[in-house]
Amino acid sequence: MLQRDNQNDREGSLRRYFEIVTKPSTTGPLLLAGAGILLTLFSFSSYWENRNTEGATFFALPLILGMGIAAAGIISFSTIETRYRSSLEATHPQPSDVEVDMWFLDSMQSLLQHSRNILNLIGSEREFSDPLVIRVPTLAATYGIHAEDLKWQKGNDNRLRFSVHKVIIIYLTERHLAAYTCDFNFIRDVSLNESTREYHYQDVISVATYEWSQAFTLPTGQKLSTAQIFRLSVASGECIEVRLENEQLRNMTREDAVPTIVADQAVSTIRAMLREKKALAIAA
């Protein structure tokens, strides 16, 4: 488990929460110990039966070998158990699912305020509409985010939670569409790879979600051929785009309860605003 020198208590708690400790297989050591014990018993029995004969020395070496094999298996088993218990203890105490959810909501509220500030939205524009937020959890390699921070965990409530999210926040103001995008690291409570864009409504040519077909390989080595994409395009050729990774996350976590990312409501709201603004422009 990664530990930074300057991490605060909350970050430490989240690192413990998202740390998944998997117990290594002990089948090999147990089989080794069992084989050693059987060899030891067989050799000892043979040695005892022939202890007063010249053949007794013949069984001494297998006896010693069997004891050595059994000891190696037992030591290996004990080492695995000790390391597993030590790793498990390092993940405690853990915050509750409710605490984690509260921290995440606080982080999202702070991110919303940060997005308004960085977009330089004035009071009247802030109050025009609630922001449209598309938040996509990801386990894919992300620039600036340590691989150790790409985590997921299934809580006691059977809900999956993720530590890294791709975030798009869209504001529909009277005069324009303003968008803020970033990669948000929940564990460290920081946003990276930020970008801001502002478009006049007449410049927006399309907003949609669609299926994208292309062969690509996940970090797990598994190949997928389709993904759902949210895209907002403007006349200049620029676009705001994010891959909705529902199916990919199911394959990577091997869990069916991956939170479904729905962007259709954002698409509908933006389209309604575009129709309204373009109708006003034509009427004028």
Same domain, 166 and 273: yes
- Tell me, yes or no, whether 161 and 143 share the same domain: yes
Q: How far apart are the first and last CA of the chain?
A: 61
State the average pLDDT for the chain.
83
| Boundary-marking domain end, from 58, 89, 120 | 89
Residue 278 is part of which domain span? 97-283
Cα torsion for 33, 37, 38, 43, to the nearest 10°? 140
Residues 276, 135 share a domain: yes
For residue 127, being part of any structural domain is answered with yes
The pLDDT tens digits of the residues spanning 16-28 come to 999 988 888 888 8
Q: Are residues 121 and 149 in the same domain?
A: yes
SS3 string, the chain, reads: CCCCCCCCHHHHHHHHHHCCCCCCCCHHHHHHHHHHHHHHHHHHHHHHHCCCCCCHHHHHHHHHHHHHHHHHHHHHHHHHHHHHHHHHHCCCCCCCHHHHHHHHHHHHHHHHHHHHHHCCCCHHHHCCCCCEEEEEECCCCCCCCCHHHCCEEECCCCCEEECEEEEEEEEECCCCEEEEEEEEECCCCEEEEEEEEEECHHHEEEEEEEEEEEEEECCCCCEEEEEEEEEEEECCCCEEEEEECHHHHHHHHCCCCCCCCCCHHHHHHHHHHHHHHHHHHHHC
Q: Please say which residue of 37, 63, 89 terminates a domain.
A: 89
CA dihedral 115, 167, 274, 178 (to 10 degrees): 20
pLDDT of 165 reads 94
User: Over pLDDT 70: what percentage of the chain?
Assistant: 80
Residues 149, 67 share a domain: no
Q: Is 11 a member of any domain?
A: no
Split at pLDDT 50, 70, 90, the class of 183 is very high
> Do 257 and 197 meet the contact criterion of CB atoms below 8 Å apart?
no
CB contact at 8 A, 145 and 185: yes
- Mean pLDDT of the 129-152 span: 89
- Check pLDDT > 70 for residue 260: no
Q: What is the rounded average pLDDT of the residues 114-140?
A: 80
Range 155-164 average pLDDT: 92
Q: What is the pLDDT of residues 193-252, one digit of tens each?
A: 999 999 988 899 888 887 765 555 555 555 554 667 888 999 888 998 888 766 677 777
pLDDT of residue 56: 54
User: Are 49 and 143 in the same domain?
Assistant: no
**Of 39, 61, 89, at which residue does a domain stop?**
89
d(CA 207, CA 268): 9
Same-domain pairing of 269 and 140: yes
